Amino acid sequence: MTPASQLVTAAAWSLHPQLAKDTAPVGELALSRLLAINAADYPWLVLVPRRAELSEIADLGNDALLLMREIALVSRVLKEVTQCDKLNIAAIGNVVPQLHVHIVARRKTDPLWPKPVWGAAPPRAGEREAFARFIASIHGKLGLAEENNGASFNQ
C-alpha cells in the first residue's frame, strides 16, 4: 500500500515560479503545460511536463514519448503560425531545474541569427496586443490540430 505522504508528493506538481514569472499560459496538453514568452524577435513557446521533481528527459520514462509527440505538434503549429525559417528546440535547465523544453521560431533575418537565443541577453518584449494575438493563434491552431489528427489538447 502506498503511504499517503507519497501520494501527496506525487501529485504536487506546480509550475516553477521563475517560469511563471517569465511566461504567459497558452493551454494544457496531455502531458505538458504550454507557455509563451513575449519575445518580439523570436516567437517562443515552452512545454513543461506536469510531473513533479523532474529535471531530465531521461527520467520521464514512457512519458518521454508523449513529450516528443507534444514537441512535434507544437513545432508544426509554431512553424505554421510564424512561417519561420528554422525551429530551435532545447531542454537546458541549468538555471531553472524544473524540466522544460523551449521551442523557438527563428528567422534568418532575426537579430541573433544564426546564434541560439539561450545564453544571450533577455529578449525584447513585443506589444501586449501582438503577444495576445500570437497566443490566440497558437491556441486556435492546436484546437484545429486536435480535430485533424487526434492529438490531445485541452484548454
Binding site for a copy of itself (CB under 8 A): 55-58, 60, 64-65, 67-69, 71-72, 75-76, 79, 86-95, 97, 106, 113-116, 118-120
Q: Which of 28, 65, 62 is nearest to 48 (CA)?
A: 28
Q: Is 6 helix (H, G, I), strand (E, B) or coil?
A: helix
Q: Using CA of residue 11, residue 98, residue 101, residue 131, what is the dihedral sign? A: positive
In the complex with a copy of itself, the residue whose CB is nearer, 118 or 128, is: 118
Residue 63 CB, nearest distance to a copy of itself (Å)?
10
In the complex with a copy of itself, the residue whose CB is nearer, 88 or 137, is: 88
Residue 111 CB, nearest distance to a copy of itself (Å)?
13
d(CA 127, CA 149): 33
In the complex with a copy of itself, the residue whose CB is nearer, 50 or 76, is: 76
Contacts (Cβ under 8 Å, ≥6 apart) of 31: 49, 50, 51, 63, 66, 67, 70
In the complex with a copy of itself, the residue whose CB is nearer, 27 or 93, is: 93
